[in-house]
Structure 1
Amino acid sequence: MRDLTYPPVVLTAKTLFRLRGWRFSITGTEHVPRAGGAVLACNHIGYADFVFDGLAAQPAKRLVRFMAKKEAFDHPVGGPILRSMHHIPVDRSAGADSLDAAVDYCRRGEIVGIFPEATISRSYEIKDVKSGAVRIAAQAGVPLIPVVVFGTQRVTTKGHGLALPWRLPIAISVGPPMHPDGSDPDAQTAQMRDAMVRLLDETLQRYPDDPAGQWWAPARIGGTAPTPQEAQRLDTEERAARAARKAERDG
């Protein structure tokens, strides 16, 4: 694939990070293959996660093609940029098409990034995950690599606008590859989630800022973020409100 846009975007992002003095702690990058296809299964805690997840592949000199909701590609400015970077639109009404596209990318030697939680976790814990990452890796015959970021929610996330704090610490952890064969997608998806939970625990342990009383920290480590149960309730209420607004418009 020709990449005229992607490298300058990466360079611009890295320049911003340096100007703000952001402190990155990245482990496990040796697990990202230097050649051939792979799936990165990433947690989702902020709107800019894909920017930071891509850094996990930089030591291997690889670019990641992220799966993102179709609406992002409809944006008059962002859409052309996303397409030029060869990211993959996901139409939730025709999910099989995006899965097939991701499998094709992997078979052609590309790294595909996917957020198996589908939506942002308000608790900053690992939510329930969908089986798409496992199915893509199994069909393409490529490794599935769990990735966890923490700190990215402090840039922008649900309920919090854009912020560029000075010397922000961001932790990125890459786990050992898994090799799903598709024989039991549900069980292998559960194994993937377990790996992501363990990786998050390791990431939280090395995160340098004190979480006590902080909105960006999970409740179980002393933060004020919603618990997973509270976050699920908020998600349910948000979906119901969105459905009601759509029904009112359509009516």
Structure 2
Amino acid sequence: MPKPRRLQQKRGWAFAICIAIVEPLLLLFTKRRWSGGEHLPATGGCVVVSNHVSHVDPFTFAHFVYDHGRLPRFLAKAAVFDVPLGGRLVRGAGQIPVYRLSADASLAFRAAVEAVEKGECVVVYPEGTITRQSDMWPMTGRTGAARIALTAGVPVIPVAQWGPNHILAPYAKRPRLLPRKTIYVAAGAPVDLDDLRSKPLSPDVLREATDRIMDEVTRLLEGIRGGQAPAVRFDPRAVGVREIGNPHEKKSRNRRRA
């Protein structure tokens, strides 16, 4: 599959290593059905948002962003940065640690704003974790992506993805590489936030911006899947589902103890 756009940035040693290892595997084990890549700005700061369906999708999504001429800077959970060798690679590749549910959570926001102000492409999963919705539709979003974009005055590019979950289901242990899985990625035009940019960043403004972002991601996913998402978006906090980690882990432990 030819590259839709040439990379204009210097990759650096960490990205070069990651690309040399990961890209051949993705080309070998996946088929790609990509659309809308022209909506990713060729240069300049931007926030790219997507639904989250598998622990594999950061790799397949990075493939999409990279093949459209940008180096993705993910907001990734801080634990990844503590992994030997892997942590050095993600730091070297300019990824941004997120200290979820901690006093240091604001550090990721400041780092992301600095990155987009320097012209970087920052990738955010607004759901904050793999979807807990039973049919894997997008959940309610957190306001971080909207806050970054409105603070820095950069566009938000909505993207939907589907297919990585067929390689590795949420919280599964073993990937299913064969037969080759098709990875669907669809990007849309920047989310219209112009009327909100001059307003103070109140909770209502951030919620409105976030709802618009998630509406666009959901609409794009409906196009990929050929179905309709639930009229009311799933909110894990409202129903008491744990916000991070495997939502079934406690239940499994209880079964083992029983």
TM range (shorter): 0.7 to 0.9
Q: Does 1:235 align with 2:241?
A: yes
**Residue 218 of structure 2: which of 190, 197, 215 is its match?**
197
- Which residue pairs with 1:214 in the alignment? none
Amino acid at match of 2:138: I
Deviation at residue 59 of structure 1 after TM alignment:
4.0
- Which residue pairs with 2:28 in the alignment? 19
Moved more, 231-240 or 163-172: 231-240
Amino acid at match of 2:151: Q
Deviation at residue 229 of structure 1 after TM alignment:
8.3
Deviation at residue 177 of structure 1 after TM alignment:
0.8
Q: Does 1:106 align with 2:112?
A: no
The change in CA–CA distance for 1:156 and 1:239 in structure 2 (over 3 A counts) is closer
Aligned counterparts of 1:59 and 1:2: Cα–Cα separation in 2: 13
Q: How does 1:62-77 map to 2 (within 5 A)?
A: 62-77=70-85
* RMSD across aligned positions (CA): 2.9
Residue pair 1:173, 1:203 contacting (<8 A) in 2 also? yes
Aligned counterparts of 1:229 and 1:62: Cα–Cα separation in 2: 32
Q: Does 1:170 align with 2:178?
A: no
Unpaired runs of 5+ residues, structure 2, are 1-9, 200-204, 254-258
Deviation at residue 121 of structure 1 after TM alignment:
1.0
Amino acid at match of 1:165: L
- Which residue pairs with 1:119 in the alignment? 129
Q: Give TM-score scaled by structure 2 length.
A: 0.78
Number of residue pairs matched? 225
Q: Does 1:80 align with 2:101?
A: no
- Which residue pairs with 1:7 in the alignment? 16
Amino acid at match of 1:168: K
**Residue 152 of structure 1: which of 164, 176, 179 is its match?**
164
**Residue 53 of structure 1: which of 36, 58, 61 is its match?**
61
Residue pair 1:137, 1:179 contacting (<8 A) in 2 also? no
Aligned counterparts of 2:229 and 2:172: Cα–Cα separation in 1: 17
Deviation at residue 173 of structure 1 after TM alignment:
0.8
Aligned counterparts of 1:130 and 1:105: Cα–Cα separation in 2: 20
Residue pair 2:137, 2:229 contacting (<8 A) in 1 also? no
Unpaired runs of 5+ residues, structure 1, are 207-217, 221-226, 246-251
Q: Percent identity?
A: 30
Deviation at residue 58 of structure 1 after TM alignment:
2.8
Q: Does 1:28 align with 2:33?
A: no
Aligned counterparts of 2:55 and 2:188: Cα–Cα separation in 1: 22
Residue pair 1:33, 1:60 contacting (<8 A) in 2 also? no
Aligned counterparts of 1:46 and 1:121: Cα–Cα separation in 2: 9
Aligned counterparts of 1:239 and 1:49: Cα–Cα separation in 2: 19
Cα displacement string for residues 118-148 of structure 1 (whole angstroms, at most 9, x for unaligned residues): 0111432101110100110111111001111
Query: Which secondary structure state, in structure 2, belongs to the residue aligned with residue 235 of structure 1?
Result: coil
